[in-house]
Structure 1
Amino acid sequence: MTDTVDPPLAGVRVLDLAEGDFQMIGRYFADLGADVLRVEPPGGSRDRRDGVVAEGVSLTFEIANAGKRFVTVDPAGATAREDLDALTADADIVLVDRRSDYVRSNLVDPALLVDSHPEQVVTVLSDFGELSSKKDWASTPDVQFALSTILSRSGLPDREEPLLPPAFLVSGAVAPQAVWMTVTAYYAARRTGTGDLIDFSTLDALVHIFDPPMGMQGSGRTGMDPFDVPHGRPDARALYPIFPTTDGMVRICVLSPRQWRAMLSWLGNPEELSAPEYDSPAYRVEHKDRIFAYYRDLFAGMTTAEAVRQGEELRVPTTSIDELSDVVAEPAFRANGSLRDVALADGRVATLPTGVYTVDGVRTGITGATPDPVPDGTWRAPRLADPLPAGRADTAGDDNPHDNRRLPFAGLRVLDFGVIVMGAETGRLLADYGADVIKIESTGFPDGCRQMSPGVEMTKSFAWGHRNKRSLGLDLTTDDGKALFRALVAEADVVLTNFKPGTLERLGFGYETLAEINPGIVLSESSAYGDTGPWSTKMGYGPLVRAASGLSALWRYPDDPDGFSDTITIYPDHVVGRLNAVAVVALLLRRARTGRGGVVSTAQVDAIFAAMAGHLAAESLEPGSGLAALCGPHDAPRGLFPAAGDDEWIIVDGHGDEHFVALAEVIGHPEWIGDGRFSTDAGRLAHNEELEDALREWASTRDAVTAERLLQDIGVPAGHMMRFADVADDHDFSERGLLTTMTQPQFAEPFPTMAAEGRSLRLGDARSGPAPLQGEHTREVVRDVLGLDEATIDDLVARGVLEPHPSETTSTPTTGEPQ
């Protein structure tokens, strides 16, 4: 590796007309080397004053716009239209925020852009999408949490109210999804010569990427049908429990039989927990009270540091519950490159997350001072026009470059070692849009999400996470297995892993070796805390990363020091899956330009830091301010209110004078409008209890959907709490074409699945083929890709090098989840 890198998206021009939570979209493009030009009015956009602000400086703005350049166009200027026309004419990608002053002034029309520049990709950004009955609804992060089903799973079952997650998680999920859709469309445009119009919706994105109702679930609950989640908040604390120490708290994550046996040793091997039934996570959850009594006694006698150290020595996944102040002071996050001290535009030095990507061994993102917003309206990058070549897979009849509704990754062959959620997701995204994704696995080292109930070979969760893939059973610990893998690499375009750092090298297949076999190969790696630094070898389940990043401490009931409520979520696995898929496509674009492949690595902790970057920066400038930026409403009434029915809730946000007046009228309190106590946000906050009591009384007599519609009709942000089961029957998701069904042979009936990542004018529908049983395509893959004859295959199977599924040689029936 060198100290410099040829940026994967060098030569790609992105015109950035995004605002608010959408600002980070352009930042991701800039981190990968695109020339991103942000357009602002004279004096700068309002985003410079919004977000997390410290002493008049928007930390959110500085972080989200690092690496971009700026140009000023006055929406009221005489030459505004001509200036914008010139900029858009020379762009490859245009990010258009529906709220932008340039759109509201009719200076930019996305539909006309597509007609005028048919080779461009135009992504229209809005809260609910252009084609939606909610198009004109008012939105806030709280409303999005309610409508996307996230709220229904946040909180504790013994609390009356669900818990709103930290608001920054919305933008932290939305931006990667928008980048994924846009770069996918751009890749297709480079293959076909025809661009695209993306109708992007925040709500669509959250349903896909945060904790998807029809997506891969964590290994701790892979056997549970998501549609069987209880009506109230599900209680998953027993899977990743938290216990007090003498000076803090720790979380442990004991899932596998090996981890449980190590935990037993740590507990002193108590006789009453030694029965073999305790090897099962489900059995341990059933008997959690007995087990947790031992846990509490163990941790009560040691410090947090001692608990973490001993857990690591025994290889029991253990970490501390850290606050923001702990995170910004943690040396490990500087050693691995996640955080660095950076001079802000006003000269102050803040601790900032650098970014999410390491490309060819070099960190991208914030590498020095944040940009000085000096207008510079010329494009620096030469335009790229050469069409992309096809990949190495044989896709005869499936890869028509002149078909505008085709799958952009048809022709690519991907070797997929990904496991659990993040590992599954990266390959699934590529497979959905045409790639031949071969999941390489073995019985000796099974995917954690293959751990299913006795007699069950497939779950809906696994099917959603691995649809459209083929499974190759291959023992890489043998010389013949390694030789077969070398042959596969020579015929592949991409290798995906999320092993612990160093694992691929120990198998003899580090990136340098892969590149010797195939100079065009693209390798994607991901881990918990990155591939360098003292924490690179730490066990990194998502719940542990959330705890160590400071997120768990922020996601809890404010009046309960033990009210941690992030256990049920899979965040950020699906986010990191998108981030890695984006980088894979970017490196494939560079390969088309240079002929060589490359390697990208990411860390789960960096995806979390990207979402909470402004809060970390604020904390570094003034201890306590990072948390203060999250606490409490800035106006009233705002919050969660019970509606009629059993555990039904509605989010209402009456912030601002205009919203307050409308709210007062609709809930029957017009006298508030002339009451001086409520004429300012400070006054409303001072009398918040009176306002909320009245709103609570009004909401409690109406069902949540009726209350939501009454408020949205007058422009007040509101949303009812949706659940998993509501999504499949929701008119708005069906209206946007985001739902379909998939057929999995192990299930008697088709079941719902997401149809596509979002709305596109020209991308083909995502495929919804079945997920494979372990080793189901072993013979097929080595026969078709490597040309092995049946006698050779039989010999390799007999010697255990190849592991076909028993159904390939027997008629043993298979079963899915209990129906």
Structure 2
Amino acid sequence: MAARRDIVNQVPGALSSIRVLDLSRVRAGPTCVRMLADFGADVIRIEPPAGVDPNDTMFAEKRRGGDFQNLNRNKRGLSLNLKQPEGVKIFRELVATSDVVVENWRPDVKVRLGVDFQALSRLNPKIILASISGYGQDGPYAERPGFDQIIQGISGLMSVTGTPASGPLRAGIAVADSSAGLYTALGILIALFEREKSGRGQWVHASLLHSQIAMLDFQAARYLVDGDVPKPTGNDHPTAAPMGMFRGNDGVFNIGVSGSGQWEALCRAVERVEWINEEKFHSSQARVKNRLELNTELQAIFLGNNVKHWVGLLNSADIPAGPIYTIPEMFDDVQVKHLRVVQPVRSSAGPPIPVISQPINLTRTPAQLFATAPDRGEHTDEILHELGYLREQIDWLRRKNVV
């Protein structure tokens, strides 16, 4: 395998022996592949030549923008027209020397193009195909287009988001896309580990719908086991109190009290020790039942000082508490800076671009951010040369709009 670009003289990544062909777009697929790329996999992002896909501007309208760069850093770019037989031929040649293919087309597209798992495994029995879809690879909804907000609604997430007065609300992030991408990355790593024993690849597939339902976690379990239908509770935790948002005299903050020890510590911190033995607040269930009265009492106390005072006082008493930041305030926080959440990535077309670093830390083989997202087809010639194509062959493929 050719050396990774811009990574010479750096510590080899944990996945440096792995080559990934990235056919994915939008968010779920790139989220999955980004994790593999950051840990050293040789990721080849495959896109059609300009003008081939009528939805091009929808999926990569602002290539130098933060979102595209954050999702697609650390990859090489190959332009390839899979609607032409010569393009499929090149793709099949790449499959023969690769470990993973990631796609998030509708389920029938890969079969139509001849790049489904059965076809790929005939070329390379060790290949792992990872497929991300909206609703699953089969079933009554399989052919439906799946977008994050649609999945947030059908999964039940929106029914528990918001307040009783607001009605259903979408989450402020693309949680269905992101969770499906992360679950798929986990599946790929499991398949790679299993391949060490069997020597065989397999088909890994995940859906936005199933992933989002899995992310409901305790909310879904409450219904399945207890028959308790979750309702939206706004900023209050549905099963614990006091746990939610309160206002100081200069802003807002969150507190979280769980268990009798933290409850008693809170009573002492706000100088209301008499609450400890009051029947209406004595147990977690009682505090949830009498949440409105308890929150009203606490709010009156918290208005007597500022957010910094309360966050410091409560944390010193081992009670979880924290300010509610805007995005700029969050990036300015001392702990966020300490964690190096933001890291610059070198760019060949301007100043470094700040991106979000991987939240997973490995001591010997950490994630590395070494290159911005590739321009469309930026490394086409390089990759085709690796496959043995000559200059005149590449020029011919370009004239035919294959690459």
Shift, 1:774, TM fit: 1.4
Contact residue 180 and residue 208 of structure 2 kept, 8 A = yes
Contact residue 736 and residue 759 of structure 1 kept, 8 A = no
Structure 2 residue 127 is the aligned partner of structure 1 residue 521: yes
TM-superposition CA deviations, 1:172-230 (whole Å, max 9, x none): xxxxxxxxxxxxxxxxxxxxxxxxxxxxxxxxxxxxxxxxxxxxxxxxxxxxxxxxxxx
What SS does the corresponding residue of 1:759 show, helix, strand or coil? coil
2:64 aligned partner, one-letter code: M
Residues 395 and 675 of structure 1: CA distance in aligned 2, closer, same or farther (over 3 Å): closer
Partner of 1:215: none
Partner of 1:530: 136
For 1:27-66, list aligned pairs within 5 A: none
Residues 522 and 702 of structure 1: CA distance in aligned 2, closer, same or farther (over 3 Å): same
For 1:605-616, list aligned pairs within 5 A: 605-612=209-216, 615-616=219-220
Residues 496 and 674 of structure 1: CA distance in aligned 2, closer, same or farther (over 3 Å): closer
Structure 2 residue 88 is the aligned partner of structure 1 residue 477: no
Contact residue 340 and residue 357 of structure 2 kept, 8 A = yes
Contact residue 163 and residue 232 of structure 2 kept, 8 A = no
Residues 759 and 588 of structure 1: CA distance in aligned 2, closer, same or farther (over 3 Å): closer
Q: Distance in 1 between matches of 2:225 and 2:282?
A: 34
Structure 2 residue 383 is the aligned partner of structure 1 residue 781: yes
Q: Distance in 2 between matches of 1:394 and 1:479?
A: 29
Partner of 1:791: 392
Select 1:573's aligned residue among 159, 177, 188. 177
What SS does the corresponding residue of 1:663 show, helix, strand or coil? helix
Q: Distance in 2 between matches of 1:398 and 1:746?
A: 18
Shift, 1:641, TM fit: 0.7
TM-superposition CA deviations, 1:750-799 (whole Å, max 9, x none): 3432333323322234223111111222222212x212111111111111
Structure 2 residue 193 is the aligned partner of structure 1 residue 589: yes
TM-superposition CA deviations, 1:69-90 (whole Å, max 9, x none): xxxxxxxxxxxxxxxxxxxxxx
Select 1:772's aligned residue among 368, 374, 389. 374
Select 2:61's aligned residue among 445, 451, 456. 451
Select 1:413's aligned residue among 19, 39, 54. 19
Shift, 1:733, TM fit: 3.0
Q: Distance in 2 between matches of 1:451 and 1:395?
A: 27
Shift, 1:432, TM fit: 0.8
What SS does the corresponding residue of 1:694 show, helix, strand or coil? helix
Partner of 2:252: 649
Residues 448 and 593 of structure 1: CA distance in aligned 2, closer, same or farther (over 3 Å): farther
Residues 487 and 720 of structure 1: CA distance in aligned 2, closer, same or farther (over 3 Å): same
TM-superposition CA deviations, 1:691-735 (whole Å, max 9, x none): 323322333343333321210111222222133223433322333
Residues 524 and 633 of structure 1: CA distance in aligned 2, closer, same or farther (over 3 Å): closer
Residues 781 and 659 of structure 1: CA distance in aligned 2, closer, same or farther (over 3 Å): same
What SS does the corresponding residue of 1:559 show, helix, strand or coil? coil
Contact residue 345 and residue 369 of structure 2 kept, 8 A = no
Shift, 1:419, TM fit: 0.6
What SS does the corresponding residue of 2:229 show, helix, strand or coil? helix
Structure-1-length-normalised TM-score: 0.45
Select 2:263's aligned residue among 660, 667, 671. 660
Residues 447 and 423 of structure 1: CA distance in aligned 2, closer, same or farther (over 3 Å): farther
Shift, 1:674, TM fit: 5.9
Q: Distance in 2 between matches of 1:725 and 1:573?
A: 24
Q: Distance in 2 between matches of 1:635 and 1:617?
A: 16
Partner of 1:221: none
What SS does the corresponding residue of 1:600 show, helix, strand or coil? strand
Structure 2 residue 210 is the aligned partner of structure 1 residue 600: no
Q: Which has the higher contact order (CA 8 A, sep 6+)?
A: 2
1:779 aligned partner, one-letter code: D
1:649 aligned partner, one-letter code: V
Unaligned runs of 5+ in 2: none
1:789 aligned partner, one-letter code: L
Select 1:638's aligned residue among 233, 243, 258. 243
Q: Distance in 2 between matches of 1:543 and 1:598?
A: 30
TM-superposition CA deviations, 1:426-483 (whole Å, max 9, x none): 221111111111111113223733023xxxx410111110001111111111121111
Q: Distance in 2 between matches of 1:520 and 1:512?
A: 12
Contact residue 13 and residue 365 of structure 2 kept, 8 A = yes
Q: Distance in 1 between matches of 2:348 and 2:8?
A: 27
Residues 526 and 687 of structure 1: CA distance in aligned 2, closer, same or farther (over 3 Å): closer
Residues 557 and 745 of structure 1: CA distance in aligned 2, closer, same or farther (over 3 Å): farther
Q: Distance in 1 between matches of 2:286 and 2:184?
A: 47
Contact residue 156 and residue 213 of structure 2 kept, 8 A = no
What SS does the corresponding residue of 2:27 show, helix, strand or coil? helix
Shift, 1:744, TM fit: 3.1
Shift, 1:688, TM fit: 4.1
Residues 756 and 551 of structure 1: CA distance in aligned 2, closer, same or farther (over 3 Å): closer
Residues 493 and 478 of structure 1: CA distance in aligned 2, closer, same or farther (over 3 Å): same
Structure 2 residue 331 is the aligned partner of structure 1 residue 728: yes
Contact residue 640 and residue 650 of structure 1 kept, 8 A = yes
Shift, 1:658, TM fit: 3.0
Q: Distance in 2 between matches of 1:763 and 1:548?
A: 39
TM-superposition CA deviations, 1:404-429 (whole Å, max 9, x none): x6411112221110111111112211
Select 1:757's aligned residue among 335, 345, 359. 359
User: What is the aligned length?
Assistant: 397
RMSD: 2.9
Q: Distance in 2 between matches of 1:595 and 1:611?
A: 32
Residues 633 and 595 of structure 1: CA distance in aligned 2, closer, same or farther (over 3 Å): closer
Partner of 1:248: none
Shift, 1:666, TM fit: 2.4
Partner of 1:464: 70
Structure 2 residue 312 is the aligned partner of structure 1 residue 709: yes
Q: Distance in 2 between matches of 1:425 and 1:791?
A: 36
Q: Distance in 1 between matches of 2:398 and 2:92?
A: 18
Contact residue 420 and residue 447 of structure 1 kept, 8 A = no
TM-superposition CA deviations, 1:517-544 (whole Å, max 9, x none): 1222111101011001110001100111
Unaligned runs of 5+ in 1: 1-391, 803-819
What SS does the corresponding residue of 2:88 show, helix, strand or coil? helix
Q: Distance in 2 between matches of 1:396 and 1:420?
A: 24
Partner of 1:358: none
Structure-2-length-normalised TM-score: 0.88
Q: Distance in 1 between matches of 2:264 and 2:221?
A: 36
1:793 aligned partner, one-letter code: I
Shift, 1:632, TM fit: 6.3
Residues 705 and 781 of structure 1: CA distance in aligned 2, closer, same or farther (over 3 Å): farther
What SS does the corresponding residue of 1:579 show, helix, strand or coil? helix
Q: Distance in 1 between matches of 2:217 and 2:281?
A: 34
Shift, 1:583, TM fit: 1.7
For 1:53-452, list aligned pairs within 5 A: 392-394=1-3, 406-442=12-48, 443=50, 444-445=52-53, 446=56, 448-452=58-62
Q: Distance in 1 between matches of 2:291 and 2:213?
A: 33
Residues 763 and 726 of structure 1: CA distance in aligned 2, closer, same or farther (over 3 Å): farther
Partner of 1:541: 147
What SS does the corresponding residue of 1:627 show, helix, strand or coil? coil
Residues 394 and 717 of structure 1: CA distance in aligned 2, closer, same or farther (over 3 Å): closer
